[in-house]
Amino acid sequence: MVYHSSFIDDDSITKACGCPLLPLKTHIKGPAPTSDPDKADIVDEAITFFRANVFFKNFHVKSPADKLLIYLTFYINIALKRLEGCRTLAVGTKAIINLGLEKVPVPGEPGFPFPGLFTLPVSQEEAELLRNYLKQIREETSGRLLSCAYRANGFPNKWWLAFAKRKFMNIVIL
């Protein structure tokens, strides 16, 4: 059974292209509202559920937060693929920083992994809002993922990096 997000559809949450801009526990600047540091956010859920959800070829969306969970699961898969050959935390950090510098595509642009998951932007402002949010959430996810993918001594955690070989929803990552 697929793990779904615990965040419910709330009208007070801003949306861009059908993607909820959920609060984050982060120090990275961006459009995301600040979350309570004692509560789990969507990044915590994505990392917690990743190793179970990555095995599924289908994902039934129950709420808009599930769309973000799907996107983050795919992003974690990409990040682990980049970390796969990195033998130390320092090299892995450099690889993750380079991944963060890449252009973030939004729905309707080439390279967006899930056409149809989010609606197309109705304006350039909405596209930029979503792009900035996805960039912020990707950077936050990358930082937290490093602490999972590497042990305290700086060496890789094979119980995490082994999942780099999995294909989430049968999408091949190059």
Q: What is the pLDDT of residues 139-170, one digit of tens each?
A: 999 999 999 999 999 999 999 988 888 776 66
CB distance 157 to 148 below 8 Å: yes
Per-residue pLDDT reduced to its tens digit, 8-54: 767 778 899 999 999 999 989 999 999 888 899 999 999 999 988 88
pLDDT, residue 114, reads 83
Q: pTM value? A: 0.91
pLDDT, residue 1, reads 65
Say which residue the tokens 């929803």 belong to.
169
**Continuous H helices in the chain:** 42-53, 64-83, 89-100, 124-149, 158-161
CA distances from 160 to 48, 80, 107 (A): 11, 8, 29
CATH 1.10.1760.10 fits 15-170, yes or no: yes
Count Cβ atoms below 10 Å from residue 18 Cβ, excluding itself: 14
Name which residue leads in pLDDT, 122 or 115: 122
Distance (Å, whole) CA 69 – CA 47: 9
Distance (Å, whole) CA 104 – CA 6: 26
The type of residue at 13 is I
Per-residue pLDDT reduced to its tens digit, 81-117: 999 989 999 999 999 999 988 899 999 998 888 888 8
CA distances from 173 to 3, 82, 129 (A): 22, 10, 26
Distance (Å, whole) CA 168 – CA 58: 9
The type of residue at 8 is I
Say which residue the tokens 């609606």 belong to.
119
pLDDT, residue 20, reads 92
